[in-house]
Amino acid sequence: MDKGLQIEQDSFAIIDSATDLSRFNSAEQVIARKLIHTTGDTEFAELTCILSGAIEAGVAALRRGAPIICDVEMVRVGITRRYLQSYGNQVHCFISQPDVLTRAAADNLTRAETAMLYAAERYPDAIFAIGNAPTALLKLLELTATGRMQPAFVAGLPVGFVKAEESKDLLRQTTIPHVTNRGPKGGSPCAATVINGLLVVLNDLLSAE
């Protein structure tokens, strides 16, 4: 076995012996286990929140080739490209687009907020992966509430002490298919690993068909 893969499998065995993921179904466990693996933090066993049916919705969207919109470049590069090739999903991050920079300055919005507006105009029913900017998630929620977006799936795990927890609490109150977490923790690797976990679930599903 590939040495990197062996380390991952050993990690998963340690995680399973150290945590109780029994409140999740088997597809949800793939996601929760990957969140703990990515952060080295067993607290994610308790902090992870997955809306019922969200994994199925995310997997179906991936399978039909839905684009994946990331709030920051770290999320974009954290998504494993070699899995995605089979389904034709594009992975985008608009935060450094010249149009976005100009508009953010003109409208006194964060670049992350403006990038969500930009995404809503082009890919309103995409998969979204938000790991850094609470303002991106808050803007997504506003655009969804006003009918300008219908996200197929949201990995919403922005990190930090200002607005991150609040934005994730609001996401949990919606019916948008989502994975999120309680509290200030989170981050780009968390958002990326949720998408990579959906790809694992999809690959398992296709192998079983």
Residues designated as active site = 37
C-beta of 59 vs 165, nearer to its own copies = 165
* Cβ neighbours around 9 below 10 Å, total: 10
Q: Which residues bind its own copies (CB under 8 A)?
A: 3-4, 7, 10-11, 14-15, 18, 37-41, 73-74, 76-78, 108-112, 134-135, 159-164, 183-189, 192
C-beta of 105 vs 145, nearer to its own copies = 105
In contact, 151 and 140? CB cutoff 8 Å: yes
* Cβ neighbours around 184 below 10 Å, total: 15
Q: For residues 175 and 191, give the distance between their C-alpha atoms in angstroms, rounded to a whole number.
A: 19
Residue type, 192: A
C-beta of 144 vs 193, nearer to its own copies = 193
In contact, 156 and 168? CB cutoff 8 Å: yes
Q: Give min distance, CB of 209 to its own copies, in A.
A: 31
C-beta of 105 vs 206, nearer to its own copies = 105
State the alpha helices, DSSP H only, in 19-128. Answer: 26-39, 44-47, 54-63, 73-78, 81-84, 98-107, 111-122
Q: Give min distance, CB of 60 to its own copies, in A.
A: 27
